[in-house]
Amino acid sequence: MGHKQPLPILITGGGRRIGLALAHHFLNLHQPVIVSYRTEYPAITTLRDAGAVCIQADFSTDDGILAFAGQVKNETPGLRAIIHNASAWMPEKPDTPLSDTLAGMLQIHVHAPYLLNHALAELLCGHGHAAGDIIHFTDYVVERGSDKHIAYAASKAALDNMTRSFARKLAPEVKVNAIAPSLILFNEHDDADYRQQALNKSLMKIAPGEKEVIDLIDYIFSSCYVTGRSFGVDGGRPLR
């Protein structure tokens, strides 16, 4: 008898940074991957060449979110996991109406995971005890707030709360957990002064890179018991 093909892992916003690193990690393990992306760029082509299914999606409207869910259902009869990595970081700015900032943050961090979890739960279920996973990427600011990113912090706090609600709803077949990172890796254009200031904000004084998050997700996926929890990956920054 042949081996049963593993179910794909869905990664939203899988074309950049941590999402991209996770996609390649799972592909290297011969794990099928589906990623959403907003705009076409070279990393998406690289993912396709590596075997990922890449689906363009517009999460700025609920219709766009639900259309993406329909495309995922057409692509696969089941899912191993959903990793909600798609995110945006909008500060309150004088030239942007506050209601637009709040709506934008709630759309990507609350509407998208809320609607996708409901729409795709049937694909995660039916594969055995603790056989499915949902991971929400939140933020360390859930604990402490942010004076310059109030809407962002509030939307991530809502996502943190949904972690516990969906854990209750989908147990015991699906585990639902959150990862709350602080600085994981820098952008290429970040200058030396900015990097040092950022490093000084944590106890551990490093930008650890994607491996910290990849190793944590591997642990969460391997567990048959951990659900409804938030894992801080923040170098002790909330303790500063």
Q: Which of 152, 194, 219, 225 is catalytic?
A: 152
d(CA 119, CA 112): 10
Alpha-carbon distance of 200 to 118, in angstroms, equals 40
Which single residue is written with the structure tokens 């939203």? 12
- What is the Cα 12 distance to its own chain's centre? 6
Phi, psi of 164 (to 5 degrees): -70, -35
152 is catalytic: yes
Total Cβ atoms within 10 A of residue 177: 23
209 SS3 class = coil
Instruction: State whether residue 132 is helix, strand or coil.
Output: strand
Alpha helices per DSSP H over 86-130: 98-106, 112-124
Tokens of 36: 């959403």
Decide if 133 contacts 81 (C-beta within 8 A): yes
Question: Phi and psi (nearest 5°) for 7?
Answer: -75, 150
Chain centroid offset of residue 228 CA: 15
Enumerate the active-site residues.
152
